[in-house]
């Protein structure tokens, strides 16, 4: 559902996580879900308003990312209306982290995250999961806790206790090795 925003852009009333994940997956983007959506995938009950992904910064992946989002009117979230912003491969190469609003909702494209690093550094700590009914890479629970703690932001620290309880619960539920 779309509503008219103050900037006279059409913008979503909420993020369509499934549509964003389907788009990124269908277009062959290499990414790992982190942040609130990853916490939700691991069982957190906290709500998140955006999709946070760490994307691989290879030339091919950057090119696919630029093309994939071009038709969904990406714009810098919180930027003043009318600010000149061109979404293309050069913009992505020159930047690193982008907090975007799109026709599908809010998307944070992160080239690197505090406490976790870049895509290649996070890949060994990721796992395949079905998130919003889309099969994609998600940061593992133990590493997600470490990353959330490393940011030091109050909202991230608030979720750490819940994530630690989920980790402990999963350890108790795991079959015992003889």
Q: Is 63 helix (H, G, I), strand (E, B) or coil?
A: helix
Q: Is 77 helix (H, G, I), strand (E, B) or coil?
A: coil
pLDDT at 175: 79
pLDDT at 81: 86
Q: Is 94 helix (H, G, I), strand (E, B) or coil?
A: helix
pLDDT at 13: 59
Please list, in sequence order, all residues whose beta carbon lies within 8 angstroms of the beta carbon of residue 57, skipping any fewer than 6 positions away: 111, 118, 119
pTM of whole model > 0.75? Answer: yes
Using DSSP bridges, classify how beta strands 10-12 and 126-131 pair: parallel, antiparallel or unpaired: unpaired
pLDDT tens digit sequence for 9-30: 444 458 999 999 999 999 999 9
Please list, in sequence order, all residues whose beta carbon lies within 8 angstroms of the beta carbon of residue 2, skipping any fewer than 6 positions away: 10, 11, 12, 13, 103
The CA-based angle 174-175-178, given to 5 degrees, is 135
- State how far Cα 57 lies from the chain centre: 15
| Other beta carbons within 10 Å of 79 | 14
Listed as ranges, residues in the chain with pLDDT below 50 are: 1-12
Element (H, E) at 135: strand 134-139
pLDDT at 20: 98
Whether the CB-CB separation of 116 and 34 falls below 8 Å is answered with yes
Phi and psi torsions of 166, nearest 5°: -65, -40
- The pair of three-digit structure tokens given for residue 107, joined into one six-digit string: 């998307």
Whether the CB-CB separation of 115 and 149 falls below 8 Å is answered with yes
pLDDT at 4: 37
- Choose the CATH number for 15-164 among 3.30.460.40, 3.20.10.10, 1.10.10.60, 3.10.20.600: 3.30.460.40
């Amino acid at each position: 559902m779309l509503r008219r925003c103050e900037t006279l852009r059409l913008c979503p009333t909420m993020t369509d996580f499934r549509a964003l994940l389907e788009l990124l997956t269908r277009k062959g983007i290499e990414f790992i879900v982190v942040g609130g959506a990853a916490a939700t995938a691991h069982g957190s009950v906290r709500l998140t308003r955006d999709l946070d992904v760490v994307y691989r910064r290879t030339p091919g992946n950057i090119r696919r990312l630029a093309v994939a989002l071009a038709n969904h009117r990406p714009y810098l979230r919180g930027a003043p209306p009318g600010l000149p912003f061109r979404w293309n491969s050069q913009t992505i190469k020159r930047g690193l982290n982008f907090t975007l609003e799109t026709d599908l909702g809010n998307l944070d494209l992160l080239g690197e995250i505090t406490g976790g690093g870049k895509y290649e550094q996070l890949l060994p700590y990721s796992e395949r999961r079905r998130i919003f009914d889309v099969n994609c890479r998600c940061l593992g629970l133990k590493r997600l806790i470490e990353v959330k703690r490393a940011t030091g932001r109050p909202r991230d620290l608030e979720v750490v206790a819940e994530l630690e309880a989920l980790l402990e619960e999963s350890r108790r539920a795991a079959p015992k090795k003889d």
